[in-house]
Every structure is written in C-alpha cells, then in structure tokens.
Amino acid sequence: MIVIADDLDRDARNNAESGISSSQTAILVFVPLFLLIGLSTLLYISSSVVRRLKTLTTSVEQIGEHFVPSEEVMRESGGHMDEVDVLVEKTRIVNNKLNDWEQELHEKNEELIRSKKLAAIGTLASGVAHELNNPINNITISAQVLQRKIAGDAPPEVTQIVDEIIGQTLRVKGIVSNLLEFAREREPQLSTVQLPEVVRNAYEQVIRSTDTMDVEFTLDTRDEISIRADAGQLERVFINLFSNAVAVMEGKGRLTVKMEEEDGSVVIWVSDTGKGLSREDQEKIFDPFFTRREKGTGLGLAIVMNIIRQHGGGITVVSEKGMGTVFEIHLPKGAD
Amino acid sequence: MTFRVLVAEDEEIARKHILDTLEAEGYEVEGADNGLDALREIEADEFDLLIADIKMPKMDGLELLERVRQVSPGTKVIVVTGYGSINSAVTAMKEGAYDYLPKPFDLDELVLKINKARERKSL
Ligand SMILES: Nc1ncnc2c1ncn2[C@@H]1O[C@H](COP(=O)(O)OP(=O)(O)OP(=O)(O)O)[C@@H](O)[C@H]1O
Ligand SMILES: [Mg+2]
C-alpha cells in the first residue's frame, strides 16, 4: 500500500519537474524575444514621432524666422536659451502677431462695411432728395401764390397758417439740401484759401441764421495761414461745427478757434463751453442721422467728416460730459 | 412795350402758377411742358425771355439753352436748377444763360429777375 503510494509520488514529482524545466526554457526563449519586439516597435514609433516633430520644428522655425530671426530672440533673452526655448518663444511671438493681424483685419473689415454702407445711404439720399425737388417746389409756389392772393384781406390766422406752410417748406428744403450735400461725393475744387478768412466767413453766416448775442467768439491764429482746399466745402465744415456749438451752448458761452501750422499740415481746434458729450455719444456723432436735437437731421457732422476725408485730413473729438467739447482737425496744406 | 416770356417747365402746378403770376405782373406769357415744344415755340415766335427747367422730358434745359442761343440769340434764358446742381448752374452760365434760379424758388425773386430783364430791354 505504502510502496504503491511512494511510486505514485515519484511519478508526480518527475512530471512536475519536467514541466518546470520546459517552462524555464520557454521563459528563456520568449522573454528576450518579446523584449526585442517591444523595443524595436518602440524604437520605430519614437523615431517616427521624432522625425515628425523635426518636420514640425522646421516649419515652425521657418514661420518664426520670418517674423523674428533666432539671433534676435537669443539676443533679447541674453543667450540663456536652448533650441526648445527659442522655439517656444518664437511660437509665442508668432501667436501674438497673428492675434494683432486678426484684430487689424477685423477693423479693416468694419471700415469697409462702414464705407459701403455710407455709399449706399448716399445713393439713396441723393435719389430721394432729387425726387423731392419738384414736389417741394410745387408746394412752395402754391403757398406763395396763396399768400399773394390773400394779402391784406384774410383773417390773421389764415395768413399765419400760410406763413407756416412756407416756413415748413423752407425746413424741408434745408433737410433736402443737407441730404444732397452729404450724398454728393464731389471732388474738392482746390484753390489756395486763407483759413482764417474762411473761418470768419463761416461764423458770419452762422450769426445771420442764429441768435449768437451771448456767444463770445475768438479766433486765435496768425494772420495768414493758407492751404490748398475747396473754399466752399471748408466753409461748410466750420458752419456745421459752429452751428452745433451754438446750439449746444443754447446761445450762451465761448466758442474758440485756434489754428497752428505744422510742417506740411495745419491743426485746427474748435472748442465750446457747452454741455459736452458722453463717451458713448462721442463714438456716434459722425454717423449719418445720429442726432440728439429735436429738429436735427444728424447730417451735419457726417458732412464734415466726408469733406475732411476728401481733403486727406482727419477729425477727432475730445469731450467730457459737462466740460465742453473740442474738435481737432488735421488738414494737409497741399502742394502750392 | 410788351415783354414776352416763355415758361418751359414739365411740372404742371409750377408752370401754371408761374404763368399766372407773370401775367398778373403784366407780361405776355406762353407755357411748354417739355424742351422740344419750347424750342418749336421759340422758332415760330419771338420771345424776350425763356424760363427753362433743367430737368425736362424730350430735351433738357441745357440742350434747350444751347439751341436757343443759336436760333434766337436775342432771347434771354433763366435756368431753373434743382438742389445740388450748382454744377449745372455753372455750366448754364458758361453756355450763355442770363441767370439761374435754384429750386424751390421764391416767386418774388423770379419776378424781380424778370423785371430787371425787362428794364434792361427798355433802356
Ligand atoms: N459741440 C458739440 N457739443 C456737444 N454735442 C454735440 C456738439 N456737436 C454735435 N453734438 C452732438 O452730435 C449730434 C450730431 O450732430 P450733427 O451736426 O451731425 O447733427 P445735428 O446737429 O443733430 O443735425 P443737423 O446738423 O443735420 O441739423 C448732435 O445732435 C449733438 O447731440
Ligand atoms: Mg449740426
């Protein structure tokens, strides 16, 4: 019984031992094999990654080199940079530039839309204005004939109504001529004009149509500043600015014009002591049809802007609510 | 002395009122509602003065002015322009117009201009 058990035991142990030795052989063979396969796969993958990274690096380098040469980046960093740092720095710079460009593109686009919109408004305005010419003329003439017919023997309120009709047609006439002035992209007819004279003429025109009794007008300038410009259009610019100022000051305050020559150009400041402009309004005042006045058409400053631009100049506004307003105009003097 | 005025204006209301007003002022008047008819009138008859709207069917005021200068140099021409047509007013004056009047105009102003033209003739 026991002998049989011993035999069985030995058999089993032999079996087990041969099993162990064969699996040892397997380990000896397969582990290095797998290791080899694994390593070479890894090597393959990593070398392909490195190769691609290199390509990427080269293209980033090329883009970067286009914007900022490596030497410059190195110089600015004081030379404490390895290649990767330079690359990172360059990517940052490129990124910044792209952002700037996007911003610029956006602004240009807005400007384009604005000028297209203005052109469209201009075409429409001029079409409407021309169509209005005849009906307004008819109304005015009819009212004038009526006025002549009833002269002397109509009840006062009838005479008054007829006068009102005529007054209102004059108002429409004003709006229509503003519309046309705005719509008309007339090339300036250049001649040599004396700026102070234009300014004085413009103010005289404003005096004629508005109450300026309590406005103190000052023109601070050398006697002669001449530029090449369209005299009529420039006068329009100052008439519009002055009548705005007088309106805002409600006929009481100081209106000052100052001008200085810089080489090749003239700077003109028109300032008033009116109620000023909110930041929000400052952005909009040059838009056509923007107005805060009950009887305004909102075209005055749009016309001003058009004329100044056509002369190759610029106009900006500085104001603070309650502190008055200053318009600054730059105009090239033009060839003489 | 009679002073004959032709009014070339396609807008009926304006034409009628101008004619009535001038008639009341003692002028002898005729009307035409387009440039071509106005030219025919002037070729057929004598007029001292022509009031011509710039914008008219068939023949515009500027062309009418040019033709009238040729066929009847003695006829003075007052051109009526729309707004924003300062340029056409300037052209008209260069082409020999006697005067111009921008729309919408004052009837008194028109009468004044015509009175002056008549005074000149009687001198
Ligand atoms: N000097 C100023 N001070 C304060 N606000 C001003 C001044 N000039 C213009 N503004 C504001 O800007 C708006 C636009 O001015 P703009 O001349 O374009 O049109 P308007 O005067 O309203 O009408 P319009 O000139 O066509 O009769 C005005 O309604 C006013 O609110
Ligand atoms: Mg204004």
Q: What's the whole-model pTM score?
A: 0.64
Counted domains in chain B: 1
Question: CB-CB: which of B11, B17, B104 is closest to A169?
Answer: B104
Counting from 1 in the atom list of ligand 1, the atom nearest the Cα of A298 is 19
B30-83 per-position pLDDT tens digit: 999 999 999 999 999 999 999 999 888 889 888 999 999 999 998 999 999 876
Q: List CB contacts (< 8 A) between A183 and chain B.
A: 84
Report the share of chain A in percent with pLDDT over 90: 37
- Residue A334 confidence (pLDDT): 84
Count how many Cα atoms sit within 13 Å of the Cα of residue A257 in the half-sphere of its side chain.
21
Using the Cβ of A230 and the Cβ atoms of chain B, whether some distance falls under 8 Å is answered with no
DSSP three-state, residue B104 = coil
Using the Cβ of A133 and the Cβ atoms of chain B, whether some distance falls under 8 Å is answered with yes
A147-178 per-position pLDDT tens digit: 888 888 888 889 889 989 988 888 888 888 88
Q: Where are the domains of chain A?
A: 1-63, 109-184, 190-332
Decide if B103 and A129 are in contact by the 8 Å CB cutoff: no
Q: What is the DSSP letter of A269?
A: E
Question: CB-CB: which of B11, B84, B104 is closest to A129?
Answer: B84
Decide if A184 and B84 are in contact by the 8 Å CB cutoff: yes
Using the Cβ of A129 and the Cβ atoms of chain B, whether some distance falls under 8 Å is answered with yes
Nearest to B115 by CA among B41, B30, B46, B26: B26
Q: Could you give the residue ranges of the DSSP H alpha helices within chain A?
A: 2-67, 70-77, 83-150, 156-183, 195-209, 231-248, 279-284, 300-310
A21-57 per-position pLDDT tens digit: 888 888 888 888 889 998 999 999 888 888 888 888 7
Chain B segment 20-79 residues within 8 A of A by beta carbon are 20-21
Q: Does domain A190-332 have CATH number 3.30.565.10?
A: yes
Closest residue by Cα to atom 25, ligand 1, is A300
Nearest to A181 by CA among A288, A333, A100, A296: A288
Question: How high is the mean pLDDT of chain A?
Answer: 86
Question: Strands A265-272 and A252-262: what pairing?
Answer: antiparallel
Closest residue by Cα to atom 19, ligand 1, is A298
The residue range of the domain holding B77 is 4-122
Highest mean pLDDT pick, A88-97, A307-316, B80-89:
A307-316
Decide if A136 and B103 are in contact by the 8 Å CB cutoff: yes
Tell me if A297 CB under 6 Å of ligand 1.
yes
CA A282 to chain centre: 13
Decide if A140 and B104 are in contact by the 8 Å CB cutoff: yes
CATH number attached to the domain at A109-184: 1.10.287.130
Angle at A54 between CA A48 and CA A57, to 5 degrees: 145
DSSP conformation letters of A5-53:
HHHHHHHHHHHHHHHHHHHHHHHHHHHHHHHHHHHHHHHHHHHHHHHHH
Q: How far is CA A123 from CA A182, B83, B85, B89, in A?
A: 10, 15, 15, 22
Pick the more confident residue, B123 or A41.
A41
Q: How far is CA A316 from CA A223, A255, A274, A330, in A?
A: 25, 17, 17, 9
Band (A71; pLDDT cuts 50, 70, 90) = confident
Decide if A180 and B105 are in contact by the 8 Å CB cutoff: no
Dist CA B11 CA B64 (whole Å): 17
CATH of the domain at B35: 3.40.50.2300
Strand arrangement, sheet containing B28-32: B28-32, B4-8, B49-53, B76-81, B99-102
- Residue A123 confidence (pLDDT): 82
Report the share of chain A in percent with pLDDT over 70: 96
Distance A285 CA to ligand 1 centre (A): 7
- Which ligand neighbours the alpha carbon of A174 most closely? 1
Q: Which long-range contacts (CB under 8 A, 24 or more apart) does B98-101 make?
A: B98/B49
Distance A234 CA to ligand 2 centre (A): 15
Dist CA A149 CA A170 (whole Å): 20
Q: What is the DSSP letter of B102?
A: E
How much is the ipTM here? 0.80
A181-210 per-position pLDDT tens digit: 787 767 788 899 999 999 999 999 899 888
